[in-house]
Amino acid sequence: MSDLPPPRSWLFVPADSEKKIDKALGSEADAIIFDLEDSVAPAAKAFARDLLKELGPRHGGPRWWVRINPMFAPEHREDLKLFSKAEFEGIVLPKAESEDDLVHLAHSTGSIPIHAIVTETPASLFNLGSYKGTQAPLAAMSWGAEDLSSALGARSKYAADGKLAFTYQLARSLCLAGAVAAGAQPVDGVYTDFRNDEGLKEEARAAASEGFTGKLAIHPAQVPIINAAFTPSDTEVARAKAIVDAFAAHPDAGVLDVGGRMVDRPHLTQAKALLARAKR
């Protein structure tokens, strides 16, 4: 799979809007997701596919991914034909229910990387451990609350205190653990209150400190906030370097004192991963 660092920001753009596509192409997003699914009305799906076929060659800028319609949708087969175009780095698969879906998709798409949205159906929540060890080219996993709450018949995805209700926090944490277990990038879900920059900043920082390495975006203004939240700070980089240097100086040590704090092998792994992400 790709040697590029995992995208911090994944910006959705409805693929039937030329104006938004232009804007997304010129944005600072690490990756754009051209959406053929929920943000495009059924009558506009063929038009959206045509716009994607007509996109010229990519000259740097955001990486190009496409969200196709789910396996069971009538549009799915047509959408897959788009991937003969080399500019599309990967496929975003919505409503993935288990690892079986990835294997099924990869039968048609071969080695094209897959970013699976893994918590959109009630049944999917029971299968978040299934992605570990997959033979499919799984690159990233993200979670979504909108489709899940609708499928569950919920009136709201929020609890009385205004925070995400337990069901969606569970989905989020299981996505994180399932992705890391599978060796895929854990990507946090969308922040739909897109005019609230402070709220987004807080949510993105919390996600980054828990282990997510990127977040979905729905508006170009969210991109710089997300990029900043998932870029390791100078302090974090310095701390990670100190840990790597300490183990390099004491290769046989299991545990060390670095700056007055206990560090052992898992900290070394974490420090190396952080330094790899800082190098972009």
* Shortest distance in whole angstroms from residue 164 CB to ligand COA: 16
* Residue 192 CA, distance from chain mean position: 15
Residues 6+ away with beta carbon under 8 Å from 47? 16
Tokens of 67: 């969200």
The 143-172 contact track toward Mg ion, x by CB under 5 A, reads ----x-------------------------
The three-point CA angle 20-176-38 to 5° equals 30
Burial class (CB in 10 A: 0-12, 13-18, 19+), 55: middle
Q: Is 28 an interacting residue with respect to Mg ion (CB under 5 A)?
A: no
Q: Residues 6, 7, 14, 90: which binds ligand COA (CB under 6 A)?
A: 14
State the Rg of the chain over Cα.
19
Stretch that binds ligand COA, among 35-43, 115-123, 160-168, 256-264 (CB under 6 A): 35-43
d(CA 184, CA 7) in angstroms, rounded, equals: 12
Q: How far is the CB of 10 from ligand COA (least distance, A)?
A: 10
Q: Which of ligand COA, Mg ion, none has residue 147 at its interface (CB below 5 to 8 Å by kind)? A: Mg ion
Rounded CA gap, 157 and 208, in Å?
A: 22
Listed ranges 96-104, 215-223, 233-241, 250-258: which one lies at the site for ligand COA (CB under 6 A): 215-223
Partner that binds at residue 237, options ligand COA, Mg ion, none, CB closer than 5 to 8 Å by kind: none
Among 1, 5, 23, 58, binds ligand COA (CB under 6 A): 23
| Residue 24 contact partner, candidates Mg ion, ligand COA, none, CB within 5 to 8 A by sort of partner | ligand COA
Q: What is the dihedral of CA 147, 150, 154, 156, to 10 degrees?
A: 60
Residue 38 binds to Mg ion (criterion: CB under 5 A): yes
Length of the chain: 280
Residue 13 interacts, among Mg ion, ligand COA, none and using kind-specific CB cut-offs from 5 to 8 Å, with ligand COA
Binding ligand COA by CB under 6 A: which of 8, 9, 10, 12?
12
- Tell me the residue ranges of DSSP E strands in the chain: 9-14, 31-35, 63-67, 88-93, 114-117, 138-142, 185-188, 214-217, 255-258, 261-264
38 binds ligand COA (CB under 6 A): yes
* Under rule CB under 6 A, residue 131 binds ligand COA: no
Residues of the shown chain interacting with ligand COA in the complex, contacts defined by CB under 6 A: 11-14, 19-20, 23-24, 35, 38-39, 190, 194, 218-220
Residues of the shown chain interacting with Mg ion in the complex, contacts defined by CB under 5 A: 38, 147
